[in-house]
Structure 1
Amino acid sequence: MTVFAAGAVVWRIVEGKVLVLVIHRSAHRDVSLPKGKVDPGETLPQTAVREISEETGLAVTLGVPLGMTNYTMPNGREKTVHYWAAEATDDAVRSSTFLPGDEVAALEWLSVRKACGALTYERDAEIVERFGMLVDDGVTRTFAIIALRHAKATPPYQFAGRDADRPLTERGLGEAKSIVPSLLAFSPEKIVTSSAKRCRQTVEPFAKLLRLEPKVTDRISQDAYEDGTSDVRAVVGKRVRKRVTTVLCSHGPVLPDIVREVALATGTAPAATLSRAGDLPVAGFSVLHLSVDRPGSGIVAIETHVPQ
């Protein structure tokens, strides 16, 4: 049975230079990237943020996904580790609670080149090299547009009122809560939701936790989409210009338009990954990573998460 884990290339800028964090592990006597195994009920993004906090004392936000490594552990089991880039802000570094211990003896900030040379395992160095490509391209700092489909709603044939008033089912209410930890890993600062009740209910648990007041709009509602009065372009364009990570909660028929408009706003060439990013199950979401410094350089990466 495969063991799944998650971690990150944690980075910061010091005197204009990008530095990468490596950890010196006591028990393993190696130099590695911060990572750890998925706990029962956790999602991969949730695991990455938790493990970084536990091993380094740093609170981070996940950025661009950097892929995964696969290898066989000494006990013969296969292990798959998913990685992201994750910036450590100055505030996070100042607030770090790290103390040397039995698991991690020391933290060390190194240039990308020196980090690749210091890491014990070639597979870790390859992940850092992928991050180095982002540095070379000038797209290290990112924000995200998160396209979220509402959770499971009461079917139309079981509801006598307006379609926009259809509520979430019990399953849907559970899904709305279950996606919160994954969304938290990307630290959204803004929530924009369709005016339909099923969308408003989907973002409610997350909005309450972060004390964010969702922006409710008809512009990305299904009713407006079907009668030709929607304005996805205006909503997406504003969010891209603001360069702030934002959740856009909408409907199955509207989400492909949201993804398409993000691509158009950022000069992204059409690709199969774009259509897949908009084809989401209920309570699924796609994270479209964009460059803070060069938002017109295209979508840097796309990742999709669905309820477990």
Structure 2
Amino acid sequence: MTETAVYAAGGVVWRMVDGKLRVLLIHRTRYRDVTLPKGKVDPGEMLAETAVREIFEETGIRVALGMPVGVSRYRLPSKRTKIVHYWSAEATEAAIRASAFVPNKEIAAIEWVTAKKARSRLSYPVDLEILEHFLQLVDEGVLRTFPIIVLRHAKALGREEWDGEDAARPLAPRGKKQANSIVGPLLAFGARKIVSSPAVRCMKTVTPLAAALGRKVEKSSLISQDAWEEGESDARTIIGQRVRGRKAAVLCSHGPVLPDILSELALATGTLRGSYLGSASALEPGAFSVAHLSVENPGSGIVAIETHIPKV
């Protein structure tokens, strides 16, 4: 991120009505325009949690993010550049029923429309470009997706600072802050299942997320660094289980193991391997890559992959 830019995030919120696609538009009170739900990043937020928060604040609908659908850039009256990241986001019937939206000083109305009507009603070309990118993915048969989230453990104490077994090495103070800071972004992608190396630094990284979900962490030595160093790791088994499950999952492991995990994910989904796998696996402590797969046909390959880095 650059200092001069204003960052924001939002989504193309969608639902199916009688088998037909509907997209959610918002009518803003002050500007008397029609746009996609979005808003500026709050201090300390990562973009994904901004998108989910802003969608909820503007529409009353709680969503989990799907695949990224583009980034818009435009000049503000202040001459600063505004950069807005968008994701697709399905609004479930339960979430819609739970919405407490009422017209307010910021949003006058929300409206579910067909793609054709959305094209004609959006006030700004930059929003239309995002919509068209989303609709292109829909035309390609990719609408519902689920994420496999590959997470590197947060910052741990250095080996030189620890006298015990490596697997028992704890998080550093910065690592503890990172573990808390990534809870919101991971929840934004609908994280539910958590699988972790049994190493303390991995388990402590996902403990805040598990607490937020009220779920237990599944320990697996198959993605531990000890097993990897001994040639006994088995990322293929873990990846196979998660792809077959077709549910959002977080896999927390170690830097040296991550390339194997991403490689097995590509193989399990019939994805052509390339340099993007190296980038997605070369994670800083506490960072994670989100691989989006088609719910209907995960074997069609990784639809999109994105990396998120904690601000701590």
Report deviation, 1:193.
Answer: 0.1
2:136 and 2:260 mapped to 1: Cα distance? 30
Report deviation, 1:283.
Answer: 0.3
Alignment of 1:293-308 (within 5 A): 293-308=296-311
CA contact (8 A) 1:151 1:175 kept: yes
Alignment of 1:113-128 (within 5 A): 113-128=116-131
1:165-213 deviation line (CA, Å, top 9, x unaligned): 1111111111111111111101111000001111001000110111110
The amino acid across from 2:14 in the alignment is: W
CA contact (8 A) 2:103 2:109 kept: yes
Report deviation, 1:85.
Answer: 0.4
Report deviation, 1:160.
Answer: 1.5
Residue from 226, 229, 234 that aligns with 1:226: 229
The amino acid across from 2:19 in the alignment is: G
The amino acid across from 2:41 in the alignment is: V
The amino acid across from 2:257 in the alignment is: V
2:78 and 2:96 mapped to 1: Cα distance? 36
Match of 1:36 in 2: 39
SS, match of residue 244 in structure 1: coil
1:18 and 1:225 mapped to 2: Cα distance? 45
SS, match of residue 219 in structure 1: helix
1:98-122 deviation line (CA, Å, top 9, x unaligned): 1011211111111222212210111
Q: What is the TM-score when the length of structure 1 is the normalising length?
A: 0.98
SS, match of residue 222 in structure 2: coil
2:26 matched to 1:23?
A: yes
Residue from 183, 188, 193 that aligns with 1:190: 193
2:53 matched to 1:50?
A: yes
2:140 and 2:215 mapped to 1: Cα distance? 33
SS, match of residue 296 in structure 1: helix
2:161 matched to 1:158?
A: yes
2:116 and 2:197 mapped to 1: Cα distance? 46
1:293 and 1:111 mapped to 2: Cα distance? 23
Report deviation, 1:75.
Answer: 2.7
Q: What is the TM-score when the length of structure 2 is the normalising length?
A: 0.97
Gaps of 5+ in 1: none
Match of 2:88 in 1: 85
CA contact (8 A) 1:25 1:105 kept: yes
CA contact (8 A) 1:112 1:129 kept: no
Match of 1:262 in 2: 265
Residue from 9, 12, 15 that aligns with 1:12: 15
Match of 2:249 in 1: 246
Report deviation, 1:76.
Answer: 2.2
CA contact (8 A) 1:6 1:83 kept: yes
The amino acid across from 1:91 in the alignment is: A
Residue from 290, 294, 298 that aligns with 2:293: 290
The amino acid across from 1:61 in the alignment is: A
154-163 or 218-227, larger mean C-alpha shift? 154-163
1:53-76 deviation line (CA, Å, top 9, x unaligned): 110000000110112111011232
Q: Which runs of 4+ in 1 moved over 6 A?
A: none
CA contact (8 A) 2:46 2:310 kept: no
Residue from 125, 135, 139 that aligns with 2:138: 135
2:239 matched to 1:236?
A: yes
Q: CA RMSD in A?
A: 0.9
Match of 2:150 in 1: 147
Q: Percent identity?
A: 57
Gaps of 5+ in 2: none
